[in-house]
Amino acid sequence: MRPAASIAAAALSSCLSGGAPCAADLPPVSPEVERAFQQIAAHPPVVKLLEALKVSGVRMFEEQVRLNEIPAPPFKERVRAEYYLGKVREAGLADAYIDKEGNVVGVRRGSGKGPRLVVSAHLDTVFPEGTDVKVREKAGRFYGPGIYDDALGLTNLLTAIEYLNRSGIRTVGDVVFVATVGEEELGDLRGVKALFRDMKDIDGFISLDGVGLGRIVNHATGSHRYFVEFKGPGGHSFGAFGLPSAIHAMGRAIAKIGDLKPSAEPKTTFTVGTVKGGTSVNAIAGDATMALDIRSNGQEALVAFEQQIMAAIKEAVEEENRRWNAKTPITFEVKLVGDRPAGTTPVDSRMVQAARLALQQVGVKNPFVAASSTDSNLPMSLGIPAVTLSSAGVGGGSHSSGEWYTPSNNWLGPQNVVLTLLGLAGVEGVTEPLLGKRKQ
């Protein structure tokens, strides 16, 4: 089960250049986890399953292209969800359904009273309605907005379902396969939030997102997103000169925010992503709005820096009103439109250890841990073991119209998914689950 040398080399390169801990820097894997994976890898039905996946690459990529060419803009994932539901049912989960939020959910029952593990990928893209999502090949690269974020994850999920059902392997714990809505942009993790609201017995969570086999996201980057609206009297630029301007107040606020220095550790960032307002070039603006993104690898640091930003906005508005001795002052309103909590799954947890050993089984010598903002943020913030795994292949240009992917050894992705979930959920008659049940 060795991939091309380039895959392992790419994982090592990412590990070293990204500053993330490599395998050599991580705590040793426990003997119990090692023993479980040795038993799983030697189990004849698992060997047969992994061999079958080696020839799945062409079919996988064809499905990935079909999925990508079904538009799924923010809050409009329904058409893709309905198509995906049909494919999940064809793959063997006949009772799969679309829940109230729009997630596609299929449960593969275990053999006993084991844990309940969710394996997921997201349906939505960042691209607005009307975006051309047709996939085009150029010089060996396949270009299409969303081609690997997350049409690739969805394809890996679907392939894992199909081949696991074909194999007849029965897990001890239940495995819940979910295609979520609302992972991107202002979707604010609404799909995974609804899943945990409605399904109270989830013991572990895996998200499939991104490209570059070897990355294990065990640290959730939290974020708060705001629309800040400034309102004032407005008026003619000459005849009403002397009134405060909503745009000037917003400009003062942006300048003050830009001068703030966030924490370097944990890494904390900010940006004013969009601005709009006013009615014409010769009018004092009566309204203005900016969109603000604040992120941090630590929840406390996120909240602390957010307080600095809110103080800067308040000060800026007060300055604008003082500047013109305003009788009708500028006011502002802050609206929270995105709340992604931060969190961590410890590097010595069985969840991370299982992910590491599965990657090593498929030939990645140097898996590494990293921080990112994904569906796994929610379970991590709740203290539920969770990781996000990248899939095999090569790609670039995420979240841009030039997003591209090359399906090099893409079958390694579902191999990795299957091995990870078998380790965590346990294989009937072979291994007990490595994932424990939570106290309810």
Q: Which two tokens stand for residue 56?
A: 């799945």
Q: What is the pLDDT of residues 349-392, one digit of tens each?
A: 999 999 999 999 999 988 999 999 999 999 999 999 999 999 99
Name the pLDDT band for 25 (thresholds 50, 70, 90).
Answer: confident
Q: What is the DSSP letter of 56?
A: -
- Which of 77, 171, 91 minimizes the C-alpha distance to 121? 77
- State the helix-helix crossing angle for 78-90 and 151-167, rounded to 10 degrees: 20
Q: What's the CA gap between 289 and 394, in Å, rounded?
A: 39
* pTM score of the predicted model: 0.90
Q: What is the pLDDT of residues 225-257, one digit of tens each?
A: 999 999 999 999 999 999 999 999 999 999 999
Q: What's the CA gap between 178 and 421, in Å, rounded?
A: 14
Q: What is the pLDDT of residues 60-119, one digit of tens each?
A: 999 999 999 999 999 999 999 999 999 999 999 999 999 999 999 999 999 988 999 999
Q: Classify the phi-psi angles of 289: left when phi > 0, otherwise alpha if psi is within -120 to 50, otherwise beta.
A: beta
What's the pLDDT at 46?
98
* DSSP structure string for 294-306: EEESSHHHHHHHH
- Which of 119, 106, 101 minimizes the C-alpha distance to 193? 101
Name the pLDDT band for 1 (thresholds 50, 70, 90).
Answer: very low
Name the pLDDT band for 12 (thresholds 50, 70, 90).
Answer: very low
Beta bridge partners, 217, equal 370, 388
- Which of 167, 81, 63, 178 minimizes the C-alpha distance to 125? 81
Q: Is the peptide bond before 188 cis (omega within 30 degrees of 0)?
A: no
What's the pLDDT at 23?
62
Question: What's the length of the chain?
Answer: 440
What domains sit in the chain, N to C, each tagged with a CATH number?
Answer: 5-221+342-425 (3.40.630.10), 222-340 (3.30.70.360)
Compute the average pLDDT of residues 261-273.
95
What's the pLDDT at 22?
62
